[in-house]
Amino acid sequence: MGVTPKIAPSMLSSDFANLASEAQRMLHFGADWLHMDIMDGHFVPNLTIGAPVIESLRKHTKGYLDCHLMVTNPLDYVEPLAKAGASGFTFHVETSKDNWEELIQRIKSHGMTPGVALKPGTPIEEVYPLVEAGNPVEMVLVMTVEPGFGGQKFMPEMMDKVSSLLCYA
């Protein structure tokens, strides 16, 4: 498995009144992707953007919109985000243990790139079945903060998970 790091600043820290110009600024300064944090108020306590914001932003950028779903039912978001213009769809392994095969298939069938994320407290081994041959997600997001809140301090101990994943791959 080839590993290509991506710079994907979270747009959660943006001035939402100027989201299009904030996105262009990030891309101008070298961002590979624009990381869009989508929270449902259930999987995490906060509520953020959804498909309408993705659709609005898509009209102003050709950038890769990496949608990170911190939601309880990610299957419910596949079609709306695809229609809105999402590029990538990253779901949490913690919410998809019983249906990740269906979820990945549906993400791909809607033309998006599947990714998987895991919380700091989740063992890295939880994502191994999703990166093995035949079960491909194309990206793993090892969270270095607890999901659901912006502005947290980086947890350097999460880099051990990244190392484990690289050795596993």
The span from the CA of 67 to the CA of 19, in Å, is: 15
The span from the CA of 23 to the CA of 33, in Å, is: 10
Q: Does 3 map to a domain? A: no
The whole-chain average pLDDT of the chain stands at 92
pLDDT (tens digit, 9 = 90+) per residue, 118-168?
Answer: 999 999 999 998 888 666 888 999 998 988 877 788 989 999 999 888 888
Q: Does 2 map to a domain? A: no
Q: Does 122 map to a domain? A: yes
Number of domains the chain is built from: 1
Q: Does 92 map to a domain? A: yes
Can you give the residue range of the structural domain that contains 97? 11-168
The span from the CA of 110 to the CA of 12, in Å, is: 25
The pTM of the full predicted model, rounded to 2 decimals, is: 0.92
Q: Does 41 map to a domain? A: yes
Q: Does 1 map to a domain? A: no
What CATH number does residue 162 fall under? 3.20.20.70
Task: State the pLDDT at residue 74.
Answer: 97
- Identify any residues that bridge with 116 across adjacent strands, giving them in sequence order: 91, 140
Q: Where are the alpha helices (DSSP H) in 59-110?
A: 78-84, 100-109
Q: Does 5 map to a domain? A: no
Q: Does 4 map to a domain? A: no
Q: pLDDT: is 131 or 58 the higher one?
A: 58
The span from the CA of 75 to the CA of 60, in Å, is: 26
